[in-house]
Amino acid sequence: MSLTTLDPRTALVAIDLQNGITAMPTQPYSGPEVVARTSELADAFRTRNLPVVLVRVSFAADGGDVLPGRTERQVRGLAFPEGWDVIVDELSGHSGDIRVTKHNWSAFHGTDLDVQLRRRGITQIVLTGIATSIGVESTARDAYAHGYHVTLATDAMADADAVAHTNSIERIFPRLGESGTTAEVLELLAKTHAV
């Protein structure tokens, strides 16, 4: 893991840190640990007037917007409790944050995320969230394909499956960007973006 730089126009993108997902058992970090580290990053980005993007996944009550493809694990027909898709309190309440609702794994597919970032001149994103191998990895892949520099705060993400998390961290992310800890991102942010 090594971080080299953060571009002058870098955004924090937090994936699916919402009530129903952060309450699930995850590894190697718990939902509250991921939220705490992401909150620390979000505060540092806001202090420097850098964008914070809060992404949530949500589906219509009738399930009409769930992806229709055949899979061995279907989401269609699952009941989601009231409020499961609400961004956690620790991250919400900041009017300047960008909010994106997705209905797919990637925060780019079918949303205005790319437009929101490009309008602000963003060239790099720092990713956090749950689940590492699903929403975070899919968004990282699309960010790379869209030409963004990708930084992954690996201790600010977790997964329901430890093997899948490790695969993303060790095999996929090095091909998509640079990885580091929350502390390393904060240190680099302090060096490259004065308050």
3-state secondary structure the chain: CCCCCCCCCEEEEEECCEHHHHCCCCECCCHHHHHHHHHHHHHHHHHCCCCEEEEEECCCCCCCCCCCCCCCCCCCCCCCCCCCCCECCCCCCCCCCEEEEECCCCCCCCCCHHHHHHHCCCCEEEEEEECHHHHHHHHHHHHHHCCCEEEEEEEEEEECCHHHHHHHHHHHHHHHCEEECHHHHHHHHHHHCCC
pLDDT for 63 beyond 60:
no
Say if CB 44 and CB 186 are below 8 A apart.
yes
Rounded to the nearest integer, the mean pLDDT of the chain is 92
pLDDT given for residue 115 in this prediction: 98
Entry pTM:
0.93
- Range with the poorest average pLDDT among 70-74, 95-99, 171-175: 70-74
Please give the domain boundaries of the chain with CATH numbers for all domains.
10-59+85-192 (3.40.50.850)
Banded pLDDT at 59 (limits 50, 70, 90):
confident
pLDDT > 90: percent of the chain: 83
pLDDT given for residue 73 in this prediction: 61
Strands 124-130 and 149-158: parallel
pLDDT given for residue 65 in this prediction: 60
Say if CB 143 and CB 117 are below 8 A apart.
no
d(CA 139, CA 145): 10
pLDDT for 48 beyond 80:
yes
Banded pLDDT at 174 (limits 50, 70, 90):
very high
Banded pLDDT at 84 (limits 50, 70, 90):
confident
